[in-house]
Structure 1
Amino acid sequence: MVKKVWFVCFLLLAWIGSSADEIKQKALSGMVGQMLMVGFHGTSAPKDSQICRDIGTYHLGGVILFDYNPVDKNKPKNISSRAQVAKLTKELQACSRDGKLLIAVDQEGGRVQRLKSRYGFYGQYPKAEDVSRMSSAQVKATYEKMAKELKSVGINFDLAPVVDLAINPKNHVIYGLGRSFGKDPKEVAAFSSTFIDAMHRYGVLTSLKHFPGHGSSLGDTHKGFVDVTNLWQPEELEPYRLLAEKADTVMVAHVFNRKLDSRYPASLSFETITKKLRWHLGYHGVVITDDLQMGAISKKYGLKNTLKLAINAGNDILLFGNQLDPAKTVSTKELVDTVMGLVKSGEIKEESLIKAHQRIEKLKERL
């Protein structure tokens, strides 16, 4: 129904004339803004701040918060205390048009938790490996406590749980850090389901990661190209199939897997995202990329090509954390302008933006 409404609107705009074309371009620009999740520097977001202006001007879809500041390690990037984070998220939402800005963090437990004890948060949530040894009641209580804490400071999107399988003891980024619930897909899906339910009770959205499976890898996509072709196992897809109806979003990794696509890494692959995740596994919700500034992407693809491939592959939210390399931060304006240029040249279809916008709007209805 929504798709038909947009189609009719575009027909009417085309019929009205040249001024209508400007309106149409502005609408498309707003859709592009909704597809972006960016990182920024600042522990506050007053109306005259760059991030607040970007949210209002470009209808930015989301932001991601970090505690570690890559520019000055002696200063926080976005997180310094409970009261400060709560104030920051209120300011950010006030900048948005709909009050439904996605405000995300990586809060898994173990080594990966941005809300640390030294900032006044609990900060002692166990890693997934330890959670897998708990009773059902303990697991539920643990993740409800985490969800309540996120909600209390206005964070509405947790980039978790990890559904990668613990199948490669030599894997340093998943197995080595205890970020997996185990090697059995059904058990992993069950623990992840409890995690999602806990988050939903407090109005926090979630993201299954890292599709199509990072548990078998040997390398780290933060640093560069990672080929999992010879190690990857088909059962790594199973948690996504089991949770396809429940998942809010799915995060796609930058791993290269020739079994799925002989040319592109998963995050830029139509074969992997649209054909495998959507068509084969039956997932129809929002797909978000892992940080597109990671070495696996940034060292091989330029910004323009990355944006074109990512959108054409079927991603809905494009994540630019502005965290990994201070010398290579990217502005919201540059991202929007680049995508709009690709639309104008016909390298990205308007329909791709419309479909992504519809899925994002449906996701935000859950908030």
Structure 2
Amino acid sequence: MLFFQNAYASEMPQDELLKKMIGRMLIVGFDGQSVTKDSQIVKQIQKYHLGGIILFDRHFNERTKTKNISSPSQLKTLTSSLKSFALKPLLISVDQEGGKVARLKSAYGFEATPSAKIVSEMDAYMAKRIYDNLAKTLKDAGINCNFAPVVDLAVNPQNRVIAGLKRSYSNEPKEVTKYAKIFMNSLRDKNIISVIKHFPGHGSSLEDSHNGFVDISKTWSEIELEPYIELIHSGDADMIMTAHVFNSNLDELYPSTLSYKANTELLRDKLGYKGVIVSDDLQMGAIAKHYTLEQIVTLSINSGVDMLLFGNQLSYQNSDELVETILAQVKNGAIPLSRILESNSRVEQLFTKIKIK
């Protein structure tokens, strides 16, 4: 460790190396349906060795305006270009759950996928056919990481963001795990990383963390951990996404994304998870309205988060500022260098699970 501390002194080459290690921990969104060598996102991918990008079909605040996805051929060209410009393996990710949460929509020429709720009414054979087709669609489009499946339990029928959107398979952990595994196996067969979400459970909430503070302290129960326990123990969980929910049973100070108690003490130490932890979008109101950028990156990385997601949908975060902020926090000791090294090791391990072309 002393070697790394000495290596990352104030000299520019050492700083540049550390910036690239920080870059491997970032997944960012950008505007545009195509890229060239002169595109800002391409320059950032190359400069910082970004770990991933996330694609959206529409702008969040301008639903009629296309962001990244308009047709199968356009998307394939975009992802091929991104991969060709990247100097290191790159996660190209989307939220393609099915139902209302789908970036590759039938309106653009992609095959539609039903919601988790509808799939849960099918037998395993039909569910597999559905998810095999979805995985093929993603593979053909050049996507190698899907922020799905949702393993939140539908324990609160009044929940607007999970149950209300039919994103949960069931209120029973075994049913949720059954269909999640089918989904994940279909993705794995096409060398696509799946991301189970939202740890430690968003299904009992009443509010939407896109908008602001969400407290599940009185509604959450440990049964919501059961899908994670099963999928970790079975070796299926490669990436787990945090939830921006506050749960005083786990941490009296911080929401789960920023919580060492949730992400390290519970998820890693107690449940035995060794894979990559990715944050939900750090520009969502539950986080962005209550913490500064410096606090967000420091708390999330120190909590155990390995990859930080900035979708650049709800607001815009310049990647240069982001990297420089984290760099400053590492150099002043607020973020231990060991956390950067740990996360880089997990991210590189993740890339061995998919065949990057």
Structure 1 length normalisation: TM-score? Answer: 0.93
The alpha-carbon deviation at position 272 of structure 1 amounts to: 0.2
1:138 equivalent among 103, 126, 130: 126
The alpha-carbon deviation at position 75 of structure 1 amounts to: 3.2
Q: Which residue of 2 aligns with 1:10?
A: 4
1:195 equivalent among 155, 180, 183: 183
Q: Which residue of 2 aligns with 1:39?
A: 29
**What RMSD, in angstroms, separates the aligned Cα atoms of the two structures?**
1.5
Identity of aligned residues (%): 48
Rounded to whole Å, the distance in 2 between the matches of 1:11 and 1:261 is 31
Q: Which residue of 2 aligns with 1:170?
A: 158
Q: Is the 8 A contact 1:165 1:215 kept in 2?
A: yes
Q: Which residue of 1 aligns with 2:286?
A: 296
Give the alignment of 1:46-57 within 5 angstroms: 46-57=36-47
Kindly tell me the number of residue pairs found equivalent between the two proteins.
Answer: 352
SS of the residue corresponding to residue 252 of structure 2 reads: coil
SS of the residue corresponding to residue 164 of structure 2 reads: coil
The alpha-carbon deviation at position 281 of structure 1 amounts to: 0.7
Gaps in structure 2 of 5+ consecutive residues = none
Rounded to whole Å, the distance in 2 between the matches of 1:221 and 1:22 is 39
Rounded to whole Å, the distance in 1 between the matches of 2:255 and 2:81 is 37
SS of the residue corresponding to residue 27 of structure 2 reads: strand
1:112 equivalent among 101, 104, 112: 101
Cα deviation per residue 1:317-336 (whole Å; 9 max; x = unaligned)? Answer: 10001102xxx311111110
Change (3 A) 1:11 1:234: closer
Q: Which residue of 1 aligns with 2:209?
A: 221
Give the alignment of 1:196-345 within 5 angstroms: 196-244=184-232, 245-324=235-314, 328-345=315-332
Question: Larger deviation: 71-80 or 269-278?
Answer: 71-80
| Residue 363 in structure 1 maps to residue 350 in structure 2 | yes
Change (3 A) 1:58 1:11: closer
Q: Which residue of 1 aligns with 2:65?
A: 75
SS of the residue corresponding to residue 342 of structure 1 reads: helix
Rounded to whole Å, the distance in 1 between the matches of 2:298 and 2:156 is 33
The alpha-carbon deviation at position 71 of structure 1 amounts to: 6.1
The alpha-carbon deviation at position 340 of structure 1 amounts to: 0.2
Q: Is the 8 A contact 1:10 1:24 kept in 2?
A: no
Q: Is the 8 A contact 1:168 1:216 kept in 2?
A: yes
2:117 equivalent among 113, 116, 129: 129
The alpha-carbon deviation at position 24 of structure 1 amounts to: 3.1
Change (3 A) 1:24 1:238: same
Which AA in structure 1 matches 2:157? P
The alpha-carbon deviation at position 165 of structure 1 amounts to: 0.4
Gaps in structure 1 of 5+ consecutive residues = 1-6
Structure 2 length normalisation: TM-score? Answer: 0.96
